[in-house]
Amino acid sequence: MCGYLEILNRIKRELPNHSSEGRVKLGQVMQKQAADRFDFDMAGSTAKFLAGAWLESMERKSLKAKQAHSTLIAFSNYAREQVGSLDDADR
């Protein structure tokens, strides 16, 4: 979960530097890289795949893309809540 949130934060900082088409292509590249590395790094690859899907689905206009993006936003919100609760437990 933390890896996914870290990647999303990096992407969000870079969003203004990319066109819509560039964001779609970057999302696709991230998903492809994640699939290629999955056997070597399951957690990191899953985080990268989800972040790539978030990025690509944000720019697509279809109903399925909007549904995927909403689901990925909900997951990131859930992950932030869990990470926050872990931070609180460490204090």
Residue-wise DSSP of 41-82: -HHHHHHHHHHHHHHHHHH--SHHHHHHHHHHHHHHHHHHHH
Considering its fold, how many domains does the chain have in total?
1
Give the range of the structural domain holding residue 38, as residue numbers without chain letter: 2-90
Confidence band, pLDDT 50/70/90 cuts, at residue 26: very high
Kindly give, in sequence order, each residue whose CB lies less than 8 Å from that of residue 87, ignoring residues fewer than 6 positions away: none
**Per-residue pLDDT tens digits for 31-66:** 999 999 999 999 999 999 999 999 999 999 999 999
Across all residues in the chain, what is the average pLDDT? 89
Residue 2 in this model has a pLDDT that exceeds 90:
no
Q: What local confidence, expressed as pLDDT, does residue 91 receive?
A: 35
* Cα(18)–Cα(84) distance, integer angstroms: 30
